[in-house]
Structure 1
Amino acid sequence: MSSLAGCRPEVIVVGAGAAGAAAAFHLARLGRDVLVLDSATFPRTKPCGGGMAASVQRWFPFDLRPAVDTVIERVRFSWALGDPVLAELPGEAPFWIVRRSRLDAYLIEQAQGVGARLACGMAVEGLETTPGGWSVQVREPGGARLALQAQAVVLADGSGSRLAAPLGLGPRQPRFAATVSVELEGPVLDPAAARFDFGLVRHGFCWAFPRQGGYSIGLGSFVGRDGLEENAVLAELLPSLGFSADAGVRTRGRLRLWNGHYPLHGAGLVVAGDAASLCDPFLAEGLRPALLSGCEAAAAVDRWLGGEPEALAAYSAVMRRVWGDSMAWGRRIAQVFYRVPRVGYQLGIKRPTAPRRIAQILSGELGYGDIAQRVIRRLLLQRS
């Protein structure tokens, strides 16, 4: 018999990544009976640049720094590896680089420390409503199937989620950015500098984040359906970092981009993280909205279980206000910038105030709405 047979938690969290682990921690800390299901076994690797603002620390009562590989002090922007801009990050907006294998495992350990349970190797195949909440259909590692009952469910099953859209959560047809991640082991030129290049990738950019013992490299294309041509891009990028053109372990993927305002809740149900299509459509930031949504989802579910019927609708409203409204402007900037990236680099990135503005956006001090109208007007005027 399954070890989960007869298990009836108050909340089932589907996915133990950043959003799911954050939700599980806060729910368990509030005294809720929480079961986290994940198809993988921890610790597990996950393709991700791993960049996040240190400002996320304010959402957690424990120190996140044990999961941090590198503290970024400056950013190097370039156009096709030339025409560089080196910017020191302001002290109030530091940037962290983490390995997802370490961060996710650390967060779920914190959740377990306050009472959440974790079941690995559990593939969630569907959800059905019941008179008491939800029935979660699970396939165990050996292939056996069982149905788990819970009053509420947090969906946090990542960019590849097939559960959210059929339940009316997020966009029915998500928009994706094509990505390639490369993990490099070897010497780092400047361990305190993150690199962004806007000239090598058509309709996108590439990044190189230093971490302990190497780099996390990423390529992303955000407009249109052009291929990344990753071999040609990496043949230029990697030698500039001191590596051979064929170095590193490469993984293709997709980022589920923010693409409009949609409900993120249902009856006893919320979606968080990448499954909620929260990734920044301009700078590809995904970790901060994942952690933010996990924390907000937990607070909403706790209030809903406590008898506040409008708490889950309030979660959708909060995420729209604190994240979606900014991303609506970020999408507009991306649509203009990545169609005329050379102009965007000259008129945007190379402006004296741009690095600080980018740092403030990544830290949450500013939203895209604070700069969007000026940026879009400048780009459109130059384009015309």
Structure 2
Amino acid sequence: MTRDAEVIVLGAGAAGAAAAFHLSHAGRRVLLLERQSWPRPKACGGGMAASVQRWFPFDLSPAVDRVIRRVRFTWNLEDPVTAELPGEAPFWIVRRQRLDQYLVEQAVAAGCSLESRWSASDVSRHGSLWQVRSDDGRLVRANALVIADGSTSAFSAPLGLGPARPRFATTLAAEVDRTTQTPADEASAHDDDTAHFEFGLVHHGFCWAFPRQRGMSLGVGTFIGRDPADHAAVLERMLPSLGYAATAGERRGAPLRVWDGHHRLHGDGVIAVGDAASLCDPFLAEGLRPALMSGSSGAACLERWLAGDSKALGAYTSQMRADWGESMAWGRRIAQVFYRFPRVGYQLGIKRPTAPQRIAQILSGSMGYGDIAQRVIRRLLLQQG
């Protein structure tokens, strides 16, 4: 059976493109398959810790839209709390379609082959090779496979990667153009270096507003329960507070596959990365940092496996558990308590003197949930007891 590449990466989002770059940079023959054409829109707030730069040998700043230096929290658009973020450039806002395309360009420059409009219908193991078949009957084979097809992944769970029954948050994102504001509105608009998290408007979730060069990215997420939330109504209240019309913005809804326990992320010559591996933060919905972390870490382990280290893929699962999962286990516990009692959570978890700074440190990647979780959960539960 003839192989077409050493590694097939299924999905050209942030995680898949990162994996494709690192493997190509290491000299592996990589085939990157993407079901959409470029440029492709993505429902994503675009916030990520600047610390992700350490995983790449090239400068990520061309994909950065804004540098965030402070975070503002509100309850029902009132009772504000502001925290300064640590470091020189602690939190970045990127436009997802630009970030993904930029990472793909780096991968292609390193030798990766890209195939767009490739919609995979089946993946299977045949002897020593993985086989991927498209909807229109095309077939490609490789020694190894990276599953990076996002929150709606059709392949990670059937292959035993990540949770068998993923847990989803529901989200709605809106991109608004600053040119729709009046001069009076602009004076009341959000600071260009401040990210805003609003906790009172959303039942069992929160709303975010991130500044961009020519406008803002807003979103609503619900993290507990399956009842449909009226996210559009939340945006209609949030947008005017930032100087925009209640109906402004291009809107996209999407499921968000959040972290829900420790699971195996590897198999025989296969790994899952990014949203397909259910790595999104269950409390603050950060998905880009774990996507880039898993794409980079997974590629390094896969490279060792291709070189003959039979235990390298198991090391990927272990490494992601240590570097991300242990913190997210505490993040999930905080979310379960906080979003059930959000008013109490805001008063005890956000308005305490040290709390905003600690959340800012979590967003910047300099602190994990485990550093604060036991104290926060204890306070919330005692208040409800």
TM-score above 0.5, yes or no: yes
- CA apart distance, 1:354: 1.5
Give the total of aligned pairs: 375
Amino acid at match of 1:231: A
Alpha-carbon RMSD: 1.1
Decide whether the 8 Å contact of 1:89 with 1:359 is kept in 2.
yes
* Structure 1 residues 139-288: aligned runs within 5 Å: 139=135, 144-186=136-178, 188-288=189-289
Instruction: Assess, with a 3 A threshold, how the Cα gap between structure 1 residues 93 and 353 changes in structure 2: closer, same or farther.
Output: farther
Q: Distance in 2 between matches of 1:244 and 1:275?
A: 35
Which shows bigger deviation, 109-118 or 346-355?
346-355
What is residue 297 of structure 2 aligned with on the other side?
296
Q: Of residues 115, 118, 123 in structure 2, which corresponds to 1:122?
A: 118
Q: Secondary structure at the match of 2:153?
A: coil
Counterpart of 1:34 (choices 30, 40, 48) is 30
Relative to the length of structure 1, the TM-score reads 0.96
Q: Which 4+ residue blocks in structure 1 deviate beyond 4 angstroms?
A: none
Larger CA deviation: 243-252 vs 70-79: 243-252
Given that 1:179 and 1:228 are in contact with CA atoms closer than 8 Å, whether structure 2 keeps it comes out as: no
Identity of matched residues, %: 63
CA distance in 1, matches of 2:120, 2:304: 25
2:68·2:89 contact (CA, 8 Å) conserved in 1? Answer: no
Q: Cα offset for 1:262?
A: 0.8
Among 89, 94, 98, the alignment partner of 2:94 is 98
Q: CA deviation at 1:93?
A: 6.1
* Among candidates 65, 71, 76, match of residue 75 of structure 1: 71
Displacement of 1:69 in angstroms is: 0.3
Q: Secondary structure at the match of 1:167?
A: coil
Q: Structure 2: which amino acid aligns with 1:70?
A: R
Match of 2:103 among 107, 122, 139: 107
Alpha-carbon deviations, 1:128-176, whole Å to 9, x = none?
111122111123xxxx312211000000000010111011111111000
Matched-pair contact (CA < 8 Å) for 1:54–1:94? yes
- The TM-score, its normalising length taken from structure 2, stands at 0.95
Match of 1:195, as an amino acid? H
The structure-2 alpha-carbon separation of the partners of 1:89 and 1:364, relative to structure 1 and needing over 3 Å to count, comes to closer
The AA in structure 2 aligned to 1:308 is D
Task: Classify the secondary structure of the residue corresponding to 1:343.
Answer: helix
For the 8 Å contact 1:89–1:355, the answer to whether it is kept is no
Q: Counterpart of 1:369?
A: 370
Amino acid at match of 1:69: D
1:346 matched to which residue of 2?
347
Distance in 1 between residues matched to 2:222 and 2:190, nearest whole Å: 26
Contact 1:93 1:359 in 2 (8 A): no
Gaps of 5+ in 1: 1-5
* Cα contact 2:86–2:364 (8 A) shared by 1: no
More moved, 183-192 vs 246-255 = 183-192
Q: CA deviation at 1:355?
A: 2.0
Q: Distance in 1 between matches of 2:236 and 2:140?
A: 49
**Which whole-Å deviations, capped at 9, do the CAs of 1:239-270 have from their partners, x for residues lacking one?**
10111111111111111010011110000000
